[in-house]
Amino acid sequence: MRLVMFVAAFAIVAGIWLAVAGSVPVMWALVIALAVSGVASYFVLNRQRERFAQRVDERARKAAAAFEALKAREDAD
């Protein structure tokens, strides 16, 4: 998703720059697109980031619980 947002931001920045100036300095368009897509992805992709964090946390809790169960079983033996 971030790559798609970067490509879209680059296309928009390059299109606007081309319309205004007639030529596009690619390096500056890339830098501006990187900044714009970074800020946009922070807000737009927040929901996906939160879901991913919850899944990782859930898996970590399950693994910790399984580890504790194994440790308790070893201590009992």
The 10s digit of each residue's pLDDT in 40-64 is: 999 999 999 999 999 999 999 999 9
Are 70 and 40 members of one domain? Answer: no
pTM (two decimals)? 0.64
Are 3 and 39 members of one domain? Answer: yes
Name residues whose C-beta falls within 8 Å of residue 13's C-beta, 6 or more positions apart in sequence: 29, 32, 33, 36
Are 20 and 53 members of one domain? Answer: no
Number of domains in the chain: 2
- For 18-32, how does the pLDDT look when each residue is reduced to its tens digit (9 = 90+)? 999 888 899 999 999
pLDDT band at 77 (very low <50, low <70, confident <90, very high): low
What average pLDDT does the structure give for the chain?
92
Are 14 and 34 members of one domain? Answer: yes
Q: Provide the domain limits for residue 62.
A: 47-77
Asked if 1 contacts 41 with a C-beta cutoff of 8 angstroms, the reply is yes
Are 34 and 1 members of one domain? Answer: yes
